[in-house]
Amino acid sequence: MSQTKEVTHIDNIKLSEDEKEVIIIDQTKLPNVTEYLSIGNAEDLYDAIKQLKVRGAPAIGICAGYGIYVLAQQMPQDSFDSFYSEFAKTKKYIDSSRPTAVNLSWALNRMERVVLDNKDKPVSEIIELLGNESKNIHKEDIEMCTAISEHGLKLLKDGDGILTHCNAGPLATSRYGTALGPIFLGKEKGMNFKVFADETRPLLQGARLTSYELEKGGVDVTLICDNMASIVMKNGWIQACLVGCDRIAANGDTANKIGTSGVAILAKHYGIPFYVLGPTSTIDMNCKTGDEIEIELRDPNEIKEMFYEQPMALKETKCYNPAFDVTDNSLITAIVTEKGICYPPFTDSLASLFED
């Protein structure tokens, strides 16, 4: 396979030139409107994460790293104690915006370590170090996505039909993405895949974002409703399922966008490999099983009203709207990380990733 034209990469998160603001693509406006938001205060950062203007576990981590650096520049600098008091308060506030995505707390904790490890230095120097660390988080994510893509591509063959759920492409991460990474990298290498993208109710990340990215990247993509996954598998059109992840427990149980576990159950029934792709920062070794993962419950109106001109259910009708579900490790064929491919038993293979 010869190297071909590089796929266009979307610059979805960056610092402003003066490093006083975080600039993101508002993903809630895609695919019809590409709008950039400039974020310079804690409330707007919280809102951007909570309201899914920035979404995807790695992207949330990158945004949080840049965001806490931008906010740190506005904090008191007369003493370390006054600076750290404000830093810790702001960190806790931002961390509460999306409890399931471990990359959020991971990035914020990493930034806090920079503060605590350098408490004997002037606050101005600590802030400079925070800037460096936030840029390192982004740079490392690009490197991780590239490595994940390379490992994941080993599991695919030219011409494969692939089903994906939600969005784990460049918009949700950086550069290639995670679950979409092998597809984009394969495209660059001259491979052709036929991708079926679940629309991903109720927020339609698959319809609005995944199909958008794949179309822009020149990939053969077919959009399907979530409840069509079974028939395309039965028709023999799917040779692999690729999904991202928001948190992976130590035993391999994986939290991802609601509907993912259903895809895994279908794949198991039809004998189709089901692969989870994500960086090691998404693996929570302190979380023993998926039972310990907190599932975010979202506004019921996302089901009844969002994307409709008029409500599609009565006002008094109750809704249950979990943002995620947990896929049991027994349904997962392999977990692909930047360090390599992990196979069952995941308790052993995941732990080996963190051995010195």
Give the catalytic positions in this structure: 246
CA torsion, ordered 211, 212, 214, 217, to nearest 10 deg: 170
- Phi and psi at 151, nearest 5°, equal -65, -45
How do beta strands 274-277 and 240-243 pair?
Answer: parallel
Spacing of C-alpha 213 from chain mean position: 14
Q: DSSP letter string over 290-328?
A: GGGSPPPB--THHHHTTT-SS-SS-TT-----BSEEEE-
Per-residue burial over 237-260, b if 16 or more Cβ lie within 10 Å, else e, is ebbbbbbbbbbbbbbbbbbbbbbb
Structure tokens at 325: 């579900």
284 Cβ partners below 8 Å, 6+ apart? 102, 247, 248, 249, 250
- Three-class secondary structure of residue 260 per DSSP: helix
How do beta strands 254-257 and 274-277 pair?
Answer: unpaired
Structure tokens at 29: 């406006």
* Residue (of 207, 212, 231, 217) closest to 182 by Cα position: 217
CB 70 within 8 Å of CB 76: no
Structure tokens at 45: 């950062």
- Three-class secondary structure of residue 35 per DSSP: coil
Give the integer Cα–Cα distance in Å for 108 and 202: 29
